[in-house]
Structure 1
Amino acid sequence: MGLTGNAVLILAITLAVALFAVTIWCWPRLARRSVPTVFGRVGLLLATQVAVFVSVGLMANNSFLFYGSWADLFGQKQDLGVVTDHAQGTLAEKNIVRVGTRRPDVPGGSRPASAGRIDKVVIAGRSSGIETSAYVYLPPEYFQDAYARRKFPAVVVLTGYPGTAENLIKGLDYPKTSLGRVRAGRSQPMILVMLRPTVAPPRDTECVDIEGGPKTETFFADDLQAAVAAAYRVGRHARNWGIMGNSTGGYCALKIGLHHPGRFTASAGLSAYYKAAEDPTTGDLFHGDRRARERADLLWSLDHLPQPESSFLVTTSRQGEANYAATRKFVAKVKRPARVSSIVLDSGGHNFNTWRREIPAALEWMSGRLSES
């Protein structure tokens, strides 16, 4: 049984409930003052508490995906990476290689024409030199004869730091939510390109082109779109592309959309911040370049750079989010021809539960601003 599967979680909860019931049942028999009964009471209490602790831990891990497997949890050595030569018609030429597929977690998930398909890919940036993995969700329509000649709009979806792309599938349910919005008639079919903004791990590059370091902005603004459009039926115009994310991914989405309107027509930041973080995880991002630091401040950019003919969505909560005041400033600073929308919850922390409440509306908003080619 896998660490993140429902079977092991159900087993742990069942064991915890059973131990609690056994403790209640046996407690009168263990009330006598003797060494065996004392050890019996201690053993039952300890076993019950451990079972409850394990159940809570498994639920938290299933929600936030801290560990993907038992080997990952216990720090065991796993299979080493294997170098694959892509000299003949794969990565060296196409800059994207599909390395696996998976079923969406929905009824009928085994049939791509009914539920879509999730491809795991490796993308190599020709301009940035960055190589990273990603997941590409293809909607059911992609496999249906009626849409065989259609090029679909695409949305780049980014996690926070130091999250994994897996979080977007299991923790935040992007494919499942997107499919549900389409079936409800509230969204058009869209391709989702899901990955983390940490394309040079473990460094948090804040989607900045770093002098002498990773060119993360170039990867997201140029390489990613070109690679995906070469491999899938995706439009190549800005009107066909959107970008969104949460936390660090939200900052990156707004930054890329603001500075590269020729690539993305719509950008959404869920619980985003608006200025590049600078801390031990980022290292020296700007090397004393004041202009680069100012440009990475989105509020400064809105005040000092031409505003693009693009759409922005920002989200926050009146209670529980630290970005509430900054989000209001961002909204106030957006001027024509740019457009801005917002989702403001009464309360909600910086966590998956909050983002799951915002994602359905954010996908609908994104769908309304993208067009097929």
Structure 2
Amino acid sequence: MRIDDPVLVALCVVVVLAATVGLACLWDRWRVLGRAALVSVIVLAMAATCAVQLNQLTTTYPTWNALFGTASQSEDLPAPPAPRPGGGRLLTVTVPGKASGLTMPMAVYLPAVYDTAAGAKRRYPVIEAFHGYPGSPGTWIEKMDVLSRLDQEMASGRMAPTVVLFPYLTPRHFLDTECTNLVGSAQSETFLTTDVPAYASAHLRIRTDRAAWGAIGFSAGGFCAMNLSLRHPDRYAAAASLSGNAGPGIRVGDGSENTTNNVVWRLRHLPQPPVSWYVVWSVDDRASRDGSREIVRSVRAPLAVTPVELRHGGHNHAFWRRVQGPAFDWLSARLARDIPDTGPRAPYPSASPPAPWPSSLRPRPGEPGAGPPPSAAPAGRGAAPSARRPSGPPRAGRPPGG
């Protein structure tokens, strides 16, 4: 039985109820020590129930080995599901971090057409899907049932055949990187924007041009999708944020959490690149709501945003499960489609050096963010945000599971 199995929660509840009934029935028969022991059992069982339920919601520990620190990341990924008639295929691969120094597993969704005779002669667009914190790629697969959703969207024609990558964002459970390069620690940004694309281009039939690459994420992963598309507009043409954060909510080590790794700061102080965003949030998720609205207000052309605000939903997997379909459809509509595979795949472009900041905005030595700035795209003026149906936001803070 896995630690995140709902049966374990039910078992803990049964123990609490049984111990409570036993205490009521045996109160007059047992002496003080017996009563105290049974009360202790009830308290411990209630604490265990709460802990197991919280873990199920946040997916902090997918397995018992993860709880005790003996698991590899590949153990946290769910086993590939049984083949679904007419559905896509899930692979688990290991991505060597030649640029980042990180080597981590990644789940890969291949559309149903990928393995057909006709599909074998084509190269497909790509979406990188980022999970929240705490979490893992398994959150997408198990909590959000993303494989069935992708099958449905592609079968209906609402989404073009697309390869979807589910990488890990951090090498350790309790190291929150927010997809940034932490000073003196994990270089997650480099892993996600250089190592993952390089591996995918070498092993999968995909398009390598930025017009065919997008990103999507929920909660902290939504921040990742927006922030990385700002920092690497040569990598991503579009990004979707489901309840995404406006800032990383961590210390990067160079002060850039307040400047170049902060979505609102970049929108206000640096040229905005020609990328498209889908930003969805719910009104009752206050942090996401406020951050998302601030982001939408700060967008100017050539960046374009489609804001979606829903009245109810909160900050949880049920909400993201509900809004992921329209988000994937929106992304697909803005990415280039599959093309004939006419020859060897071109290698994915290597990491480009960051562009210089405008001189008026370059921080002085010692000021926050004085480290190397991220790449910036040509400036432009505002694309007016278009109002659409509601859905998930960026947030300044992060509750468990985001």
Q: TM-score w.r.t. structure 2 length?
A: 0.69
Deviations for 1:330-359, whole angstroms, at most 9, x for unmatched residues?
112222222111221112322222222221
Partner of 1:296: 261
The question of 1:114 aligning with 2:49 is answered no
Q: Give 2:178's match in structure 1, choosing from 206, 210, 215.
A: 206
Partner of 1:363: 328
Secondary structure of 2:311 counterpart: strand
Q: Give 1:344's match in structure 2, choosing from 301, 309, 319.
A: 309
Q: Say whether the 8 Å CA contact 2:60–2:173 is kept in structure 1.
A: no
Query: Judging changes above 3 Å, is the alpha-carbon distance between structure 1 residues 58 and 219 closer, same or farther for their aligned structure 2 residues?
Result: closer
Partner of 2:277: 312
- Cα distance, 1:129 vs. partner? 1.9
Structure 2 Cα separation of the partners of residues 62 and 137 of structure 1: 24
Deviations for 1:14-67, whole angstroms, at most 9, x for unmatched residues?
x689979xx7xxx9xx79x9638xxxx999999999999877876655454343
Output the amino acid matched with 1:126.
K
Query: Judging changes above 3 Å, is the alpha-carbon distance between structure 1 residues 50 and 182 closer, same or farther for their aligned structure 2 residues?
Result: farther
Secondary structure of 1:145 counterpart: coil
Which structure 2 residues correspond to residues 219-368 of structure 1 after superposition, within 5 A?
A: 219-279=191-251, 284-286=253-255, 293-368=258-333
Partner of 1:372: 338
Per chain length, whose mean CA-contact separation is higher, i.e. which structure has more relative contact order (CA < 8 Å, sep 6+)? 2
- Cα distance, 1:169 vs. partner? 0.9
Query: Judging changes above 3 Å, is the alpha-carbon distance between structure 1 residues 62 and 369 closer, same or farther for their aligned structure 2 residues?
Result: same
Secondary structure of 2:61 counterpart: coil
Greater displacement, 60-69 / 115-124:
60-69
Unaligned runs of 5+ in 1: 82-96, 105-109
Q: Say whether the 8 Å CA contact 1:197–1:252 is kept in structure 2.
A: no
Partner of 2:80: 103
CA RMSD of aligned residues (A): 3.8
Deviations for 1:261-305, whole angstroms, at most 9, x for unmatched residues?
2111111122112223235xx5x244xxx7x85222222222332
Q: Say whether the 8 Å CA contact 2:111–2:163 is kept in structure 1.
A: yes
Q: Which structure has greater helix proportion?
A: 1
Q: Say whether the 8 Å CA contact 1:321–1:350 is kept in structure 2.
A: no
- Cα distance, 1:369 vs. partner? 1.2
Greater displacement, 322-331 / 253-262:
322-331
Secondary structure of 2:195 counterpart: helix
Q: Say whether the 8 Å CA contact 2:59–2:134 is kept in structure 1.
A: no
Output the amino acid matched with 1:266.
A
Greater displacement, 252-261 / 194-203:
194-203
Deviations for 1:304-331, whole angstroms, at most 9, x for unmatched residues?
3222221111122222231323322211
Output the amino acid matched with 2:275.
S
Q: Say whether the 8 Å CA contact 2:93–2:108 is kept in structure 1.
A: yes
- Cα distance, 1:153 vs. partner? 1.4
Query: Judging changes above 3 Å, is the alpha-carbon distance between structure 1 residues 304 and 2 closer, same or farther for their aligned structure 2 residues?
Result: closer
Q: Say whether the 8 Å CA contact 1:102–1:118 is kept in structure 2.
A: no
Q: TM-score w.r.t. structure 1 length?
A: 0.74
Query: Judging changes above 3 Å, is the alpha-carbon distance between structure 1 residues 148 and 102 closer, same or farther for their aligned structure 2 residues?
Result: farther
Q: Say whether the 8 Å CA contact 1:141–1:147 is kept in structure 2.
A: yes
The question of 1:140 aligning with 2:106 is answered no
Secondary structure of 1:115 counterpart: coil
Partner of 1:179: 151
Secondary structure of 1:155 counterpart: strand
Secondary structure of 1:322 counterpart: helix
Structure 1 Cα separation of the partners of residues 262 and 5 of structure 2: 41
Which structure 2 residues correspond to residues 70-85 of structure 1 after superposition, within 5 A?
A: 70-72=64-66, 75=68, 78=70
Output the amino acid matched with 2:326.
A
Secondary structure of 1:230 counterpart: helix
Greater displacement, 41-50 / 125-134:
41-50
Q: Say whether the 8 Å CA contact 2:222–2:240 is kept in structure 1.
A: yes
Structure 2 Cα separation of the partners of residues 119 and 179 of structure 1: 15
- Cα distance, 1:236 vs. partner? 0.2
Partner of 2:102: 130
| Aligned pairs, number | 336
Partner of 1:68: 62
Query: Judging changes above 3 Å, is the alpha-carbon distance between structure 1 residues 114 and 301 closer, same or farther for their aligned structure 2 residues?
Result: same
Unaligned runs of 5+ in 2: 340-402
Output the amino acid matched with 1:115.
G
Greater displacement, 187-196 / 111-120:
111-120
Partner of 1:86: none
Structure 2 Cα separation of the partners of residues 259 and 192 of structure 1: 21
Structure 2 Cα separation of the partners of residues 189 and 317 of structure 1: 29
Query: Judging changes above 3 Å, is the alpha-carbon distance between structure 1 residues 203 and 271 closer, same or farther for their aligned structure 2 residues?
Result: same
